[in-house]
């Protein structure tokens, strides 16, 4: 699974509508409204690298109200959930 974190700048009066439209796109697993330099952060998860271009450049960036995107590709995930799965022996 390939994960991309997309920072999204949006027209200020369209943030809720844009967030909903992006959340409905195939390949987008989560959308967060955030404070800071961007308005939204989307998490995109796809099986193939080429699908990133389809989801982000082909659809997400074309949602009405999106002004700019900045995409970061994740190399590795570090979280308690992932570590538990890695070290779990399946014994309850």
Q: Could you give the domains of the chain? A: 2-87 (3.30.70.920)
On whether the CB atoms of residues 6 and 57 are closer than 8 A, the answer is no
Q: Is 2 helix (H, G, I), strand (E, B) or coil?
A: strand
pLDDT at site 87: 53
Phi, psi of 58 (to 5 degrees): -80, -30
Contact (Cβ atoms closer than 8 angstroms) between residue 10 and residue 67: yes
pTM: 0.83
pLDDT score recorded for residue 81:
65
What local confidence, expressed as pLDDT, does residue 90 receive?
56
pLDDT digits (tens, 9 = 90+) for 24-79: 999 999 999 999 999 999 999 999 999 999 999 999 999 999 999 999 999 988 87
Residue 52, judged by CB atoms within 10 A of its CB (0-12, 13-18, 19+), counts as buried
Q: What is the pLDDT of residues 73-90, one digit of tens each?
A: 999 888 766 555 555 555
Cross-strand pairs, 28: 44
């Amino acid at each position: 699974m390939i994960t991309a974190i997309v920072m999204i700048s949006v027209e200020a009066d369209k943030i809720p509508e844009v967030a909903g439209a992006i959340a409905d796109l195939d390949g987008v697993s989560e959308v967060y409204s955030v404070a800071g330099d961007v308005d939204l952060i989307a998490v995109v998860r796809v099986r193939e690298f080429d699908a990133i271009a389809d989801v982000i450049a082909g659809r997400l960036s074309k949602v009405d109200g999106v002004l700019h995107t900045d995409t970061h590709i994740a190399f590795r995930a570090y979280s308690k959930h992932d570590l538990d799965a890695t070290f779990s022996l399946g014994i309850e």
